[in-house]
Chains A and B, each alone.
Chain A
């Protein structure tokens, strides 16, 4: 069974630009969660999508948004990039999402550098 895939793996952008990251979950998984990981703040929850609906959201500004498609693939968008958005963006998939009790599986991440 293929794991969680994320594209692109690496990305360099400049301040003010926007970026779209993609996550394909494990086949059959309906939940995709997004996380930001930085050396200073550690791993922080961004939002979770389940069956094309955003179920919950962490404490991030409205510049961070996402969506999920009918095949459970998810995209995350960051508009008006700031230097502080440089981070590793991880997505994780699971069958029932954070409301369930089973584990979630992480993808390899997209490393974003904002110059």
Chain B
């Protein structure tokens, strides 16, 4: 059965810290991996990764995929209180389905 596992489930850090969120997957016919940020409403797209070893960056956020070891990480540097959210990892597979992890709940203390 296809699955996506995120760790940790929750994380509390102080403003200014750097955090690394993990996403591992076991799926047949991998197509792409996506990261989303979900605050009190709908998820918003962060990154889509399809190739190993190529870092995607957007401001203080970055992500990379390792297709050999079947995981991805999402890094957030110099965290701010506005980064508090649930971060979701999802994997698309070739029969056009998408499987989400349970998410990492990140809380940034001022």
Contact = CB atoms under 8 A, between A and B. Distances in A.
Q: Are A and B interaction partners? A: yes
B100 A43 contact: yes
Interface residues of B, number: 21
A20 to B, nearest CB: 20
Interface in B18-36: 32, 34
Contacts, number: 48
Contacts of A108: 41-42
A contact residues, range? 20 to 34
Interface of B: 32, 34, 41-45, 48, 50, 88, 90, 92, 95-103
16 contacts: A4-B42, A35-B100, A42-B88, A42-B101, A42-B102, A43-B103, A45-B99, A48-B96, A56-B96, A90-B42, A101-B48, A103-B45, A104-B45, A105-B45, A106-B43, A109-B42
